[in-house]
Structure 1
Amino acid sequence: MLLIVLGIIILLVSYFVVRTNYQLNRYYSLANIFGVVIILVGASTAMVKQIEAGHTGVQTLFGKVDNRILESGLNFINPLVRVTMFDIKTQNYTMSGVHTEGEQGGDDAIRVLSADGLEVIIDLTVLYRVLPNQAPRILKEIGSDYKNIIVRPITRTKIRDNAVYYDAVALYSTRRDEFQGRIFKGIEKDFKDRGLVLEQLLVRNITLPQSVKIAIESKINAEQDAQKMQFVLQKEKQEAERKRVEAQGIADYQKIINTGLSKQQLQYEMIKANKEIATSPNTKVIIMGNGSSGTSFILNDK
């Protein structure tokens, strides 16, 4: 486009200069040829537009948007049109409390109020893309800065609108997936109405107030102590059961011995045991007495 304007300027300048100074008439034809060549070169380059892969082009002529899109590759166009590029690949928009992670500089995390009136800080990433056939409508109704006009405000508003239905602890733990699914549906619908496709919504981090964190940690510690005490009680109960079984076994053994052996048999077993002791190399003499009969036995291996 610049070359076309330059060529037209050369033609106009040569025409007015020749009219005011006839001595330069001999250069008039040369200037005209030079101007025409520049216009042709500019027109040929302006008529060919290359669209990169993953992009689409939208044409505007004097402010009017053409609904026909330019696909990736080489396209022949009107040299007077202006082409606006739209990225149709998957894009992400991150809002984070970490200064180096978000799209905006500084702390860009989303601060919401939960159902119990506590402030919860949410870090979020939105994955989305532009529908190629909706690019002309986006340019016409929204403009090329759809990230800051549509993606950012809609996402932040939907999160705040839905967070009020959940307690802070529920958002952090038990109902986190439900909360993420709920805001996904709301954002998906609004994006679709404006020519965008919401692919995924990633709740990266939920930060609770310090007082709630301390309460949760105390509860977890109490639960762990209760589980530990339950384990100790269970172990003591098992040990008591083991001792009871052991005592019952001993009692049963003694009962069997007392009822199954006669006095004479017990005396015989005692003599036999002492005899074995007496025959031991370390035992020389054993004196054994019977308390009831007063008899004594002397056993000697010599």
Structure 2
Amino acid sequence: MILLIILGIILLIFGFILTNRVNPISKFTGLFRIIGFILIVLGLFSSMFKQIDAGKVGVKSLYGSVDSEVLESGLHIINPLLDITEFDVQTQNYTMSAIHGEGTQEGDDAIRVLSNDGLEVVIDLTVLYRVIPTDAPKIFKNIGVGYTDKIVRPITRTRIRDNAVFYDAVALYSTKRNEFQERIFKSIESDFKNRGLVLEQLLIRNIDLPISVKKSIESKINAEQDAQKMTFVLQKEKQEAERKRVEAQGIADYQRIISLGLTDKQLQYEQIKAQKELAASSNSKIIFMNGKGNAPVILSDK
């Protein structure tokens, strides 16, 4: 657009210069002026239209003066002299990681902090944020388009270091991780908001402890697991012992009830029933029966 205007002005000036000179191309001066005028008109006309893509806003500036109103997504008719700078208002992420290729910057970009107990802890995290559309002119005027390197990165790293000193290394790694994440989120959120940014989410991806601390944690976990296993075994043994005691008590109670309820006549009756069933059997048999007195009666099918 600007190129068309410049080219048109050059042709227009060139046409006027050749008007008062005698040379073979003087007869084309009128054509040069017409073409130059057409190019200028086309350049101005095309400069009056500006398309803002979806998810972006346009910040208007004229000779260093920044307009407080933004251009929303869509097609707009503007002053051809305005300079339009687009800002992305969609969710953006900035990752700081110790793993090569995962972070926004190349190499080891993890955050190294000192915990309350003086140990160095390495933290990988991702920041999800976006630009407040109405604050885009303020950002452009006070910070510029490089707000990621000027605001997002330094504030995040500073606030994490400031808050890590309230926790010891093991707590950051285990029990206090969520609390630590919420605490730094609140501190970063207010700083971002004052500068026209919205902090959507802060994701702690990994917390890496010194090797010596890792080994002590693993030893503690193994000891706790062994203690839990032993507790389970002891509890199982107690349950088995209780089961056997209840079973023995039941047998003793049964025997006591039977011994109290049986009489001589009942025993004699049960004996006669058994002998009757035996006599009805088809197998060879010899039956000894008590007769009167103590003399036994012998029965046989032979």
Structure 1 and Structure 2 fold alike (TM over 0.5): yes
How far apart, in 2, do the equivalents of 1:34 and 1:253 lie?
122
Alignment of 1:208-219 (within 5 A): 208-219=209-220
C-alpha offsets along residues 223-282 of structure 1, whole Å, 9 cap, x if unaligned?
222222222222222222222222223333444444554567656655664565465444
- Displacement of 1:187 in angstroms is 0.9
The residue correspondences of 1:75-224 to structure 2 (distance < 5 A) are 75-224=76-225
Q: How does 1:26-41 map to 2 (within 5 A)?
A: 26-41=27-42
Distance 1:225 1:272 in 2: 61
The letter of the residue matching 1:6 is L
Instruction: Assess, with a 3 A threshold, how the Cα gap between structure 1 residues 274 and 57 changes in structure 2: closer, same or farther.
Output: same
Distance between the aligned counterparts of 2:289 and 2:210, measured in 1? 86
Deviates more, 1:261-270 or 1:192-201: 261-270
Map 1:276-295; keep pairs closer than 5 Å: 276-277=277-278, 280-286=281-287, 295=295
User: CA offsets, 1:155-211, max 9 Å, x none?
Assistant: 111112111111222222222221111111111111111111111112222233333
Shift of 1:116: 2.1
Question: What is the alpha-carbon distance in structure 1 between the residues aligned to residue 296 and residue 66 of structure 2?
Answer: 131
Q: Closer, same or farther in 2 for the Cα pair 1:297/1:233, shift >3 Å?
A: farther
| Aligned residue pairs, count | 299
Q: 1:259 to 1:74 in 2, by over 3 A?
A: closer
Report the Cα distance in structure 2 between the residues aligned to 1:34 and 1:254, rounded to whole angstroms.
Answer: 125
**For residues 284 and 121 of structure 2, what CA distance do their matches in structure 1 show?**
88
Distance of 2:170 and 2:247 partners within structure 1: 50
Give the match for residue 301 of structure 1: 301
After superposition, the Cα gap between the structure-2 partners of 1:90 and 1:288, relative to the gap in structure 1 and judged at 3 Å, is: same
Unaligned runs of 5+ in 1: none
Structure 1 residue identity aligned to 2:183: R
Cα distance, 1:118 vs structure 2: 2.4
Q: Write out per-residue CA displacement over residues 126-154 of structure 1, whole angstroms, 9 at most, x where no aligned residue.
A: 11111112111111111111111111111
Sort the Cα spacing of 1:151 and 1:275 in 2 relative to 1 into closer, same or farther, 3 A: same
Contact 1:277 / 1:283 at 8 angstroms: preserved in 2?
no
Structure 2 distance, partners of 1:272, 1:11, is 138
- 1:230 is the counterpart of 2:231: yes
Q: Is the 8 A contact 1:102 1:108 kept in 2?
A: yes
Distance in 2 between the 1:91 and 1:168 partners? 30
Query: Matches of 1:116 and 1:142 in 2, distance apart?
Result: 37
* Paired residue type of 2:219: S
CA distance in 2, matches of 1:255, 1:34: 126
1:288–1:207 Cα change, 3 Å: farther
User: Which segment drifts farther, 261-270 or 122-131?
Assistant: 261-270
Note the C-alpha offset of 1:296: 4.2
SS of residue matched to 1:103: coil
Any residues of structure 2 matched to 1:29-68 within 5 Å, and which?
A: 29-68=30-69
For 1:258 and 1:77, locate their aligned partners in 2 and report how far apart those are by CA, in whole Å: 112
| C-alpha contact (below 8 Å) 1:278/1:299 kept by paired residues | no
Stretches of structure 2 that go unaligned for 5 or more consecutive residues are: none
Percentage of matched positions with identical amino acids: 65
User: TM-score w.r.t. structure 2 length?
Assistant: 0.86
CA distance in 1, matches of 2:248, 2:262: 21
Residues 38-88 of structure 1: CA distance to partner in whole angstroms, max 9, x if unpaired?
111111111211111111111222233222322222222222222111111
Judge conservation of contact 1:279–1:301 (CA < 8 Å) in 2.
no
Tell me: CA distance 1:278–1:215, structure 2 relative to 1, closer, same or farther (3 Å).
farther
1:255–1:50: structure 2 CA closer, same or farther, 3 Å change rule?
Answer: closer
